[in-house]
Amino acid sequence: MTDAAPLTDTPLQPTFPQAMEITAQWLGLWEAGELSDEVLADRVGELVASRDGARGFFVVSLTGDAPLMDRLPEPLVASLRQAGEGVVDLTARNLAMSTAMTLHHSRSGDQEHQAGSERVQLRSTELLRQLEPVAVKRRLESLLAAAGDREDPCHAVVADRAFLDRWGYDAEQRLAIAAAIEAVAEA
């Protein structure tokens, strides 16, 4: 008896919109009990192997109503940990962006969008606490240095500063991002 060959040797390489659609379908099946934690974790592991796949997964799973990222099933956490630094990077960026947007929506009195940003912030914080600690620490230290405007010629800090500048985050938003980063270590 031989093992069945995989249907394809090519990893899943969806576009960003395709990854969002795929994620929404999978989450619907998972919520309906038609997809186990283990099967979902395997599929997500394949999806997050590409940058667009990971971006699409996180846009839907972090912002949507599905409770997946609130429960964080162990097989999913294992899959996301195995995906490595790309997942850590996207999760850290989601933490920064959602934190800045929480403040933005608060300033404009938009409570609905503020609540959504707060949910993404909380989910990102909880996920970062579950990912590989050394990779998370290294990633968050760079983002913290950039948010604090400390002079640091390190490439990662320069890239993070460019990321924060590109989105136009002001000093108060950067302070909030720094506080959110520090809160990841609190548990």
Question: pLDDT digit string (tens) for 79-94?
Answer: 999 999 999 999 999 9
Beta-carbon-side half-sphere exposure of residue 89 (alpha carbons within 13 Å): 15
What pTM, to 2 d.p., does this model score?
A: 0.90
Chain centroid, CA 15 distance in Å? 17
pLDDT tens digit string along 109-153? 999 999 999 999 999 999 999 999 999 999 999 999 999 866 666
Whether residue 156 has pLDDT greater than 50 = yes
